[in-house]
Structure 1
């Protein structure tokens, strides 16, 4: 089973829903069940089992049962997924597409990508991840990699006195 989750943000993430729809239409998922937690999305992939919202224990159960997870790059979701064994791909919401108020998810995704965490910048990245899902734990990365991410985040978000 593949789980797709976009969290509970008030802005729809229809771009990701369109990508998932394309994967289903092109039969790139075969007979595998697709479960989507869609939040406020107004575009839903046909053929998927969809839930607007899930209780936390139901969501965690789905993550545990999933072969892989495709998720928005929200901090809470990232932390939850990192603590579980399921391979995941993060797709950042973008202000450019009116999916969030700013690009903090893009900036977080850039920092995580520099650590080797799989990021979906486009539909092709989803296809590659589906073919070869990888599991990278943020907590298992080297001190040097963690320091590089901290440095990058400090550059993006300078401390203001």
Structure 2
């Protein structure tokens, strides 16, 4: 399953959603695909979608997905990494009316160069190859598992034991 999120920024990210829908339409993606479309004006015709999904459902979909595709905002791709996925990260561009400036482009480049673990896509024509690359990276153990819940449980037990 491929899960796509464009986040909650109020400008549409139709370029990403159209690219994903096109890959499903032409058979390149031959699996379940679900897209959180946010404020997009384009509505996918070939995959499941919802404008917004609650945070627990978002986490669940990321956990279940083989591949997660996100916008370039850090919250979404860090959550994908925490779910053990190497996300495909597509920054929003100002020139396409997707954001107020190109800070996502700069940030994604910086993370990709310094930290790795993500598959950046600067041109949606590269999406199919990026999805397969992310699938391989995720299978090889990319990403990281958050231990916040375990830490909180152990801390609570220690405090209660005082």
Which portions of structure 1, spanning 4 or more consecutive aligned residues, are displaced by more than 4 angstroms? none
Cα–Cα, structure 1 residues 21 and 74, in superposed 2: closer, same or farther, change >3 Å? same
- Matches of 1:28 and 1:137, distance apart in 2: 25
- Matches of 1:11 and 1:38, distance apart in 2: 11
Query: Which residue of 2 is the match for residue 154 of structure 1?
Result: none
- Matches of 2:70 and 2:132, distance apart in 1: 17
Q: Deviations over 1:57-99 (max 9, x none)?
A: 0110010111111110112112212211123100000111110
Query: Which residue of 2 is the match for residue 123 of structure 1?
Result: 124
Instruction: Report the CA distance between 1:112 and its aligned residue.
Output: 1.7
Instruction: Report the CA distance between 1:131 and its aligned residue.
Output: 2.6
* 8 A contact 2:15–2:124 mirrored in 1: no
TM-score where L is the length of structure 2: 0.79
- Answering whether residue 23 of structure 2 is matched by residue 17 of structure 1, we say no
Secondary structure (helix, strand or coil) at the match of 2:19 reads helix
Structure 1 vs Structure 2 CA RMSD: 1.7
TM-score where L is the length of structure 1: 0.79
**Pairwise mapping of residues 78-157 of structure 1 onto structure 2 (< 5 A)?**
78-114=77-113, 115-116=115-116, 117-132=118-133, 133=135, 134-135=137-138, 136-137=142-143
Instruction: Report the CA distance between 1:52 and its aligned residue.
Output: 0.7
Query: Which residue of 1 is the match for residue 32 of structure 2?
Result: 33
Secondary structure (helix, strand or coil) at the match of 1:3 reads strand
* 8 A contact 1:5–1:37 mirrored in 2: yes
- Matches of 1:121 and 1:62, distance apart in 2: 24
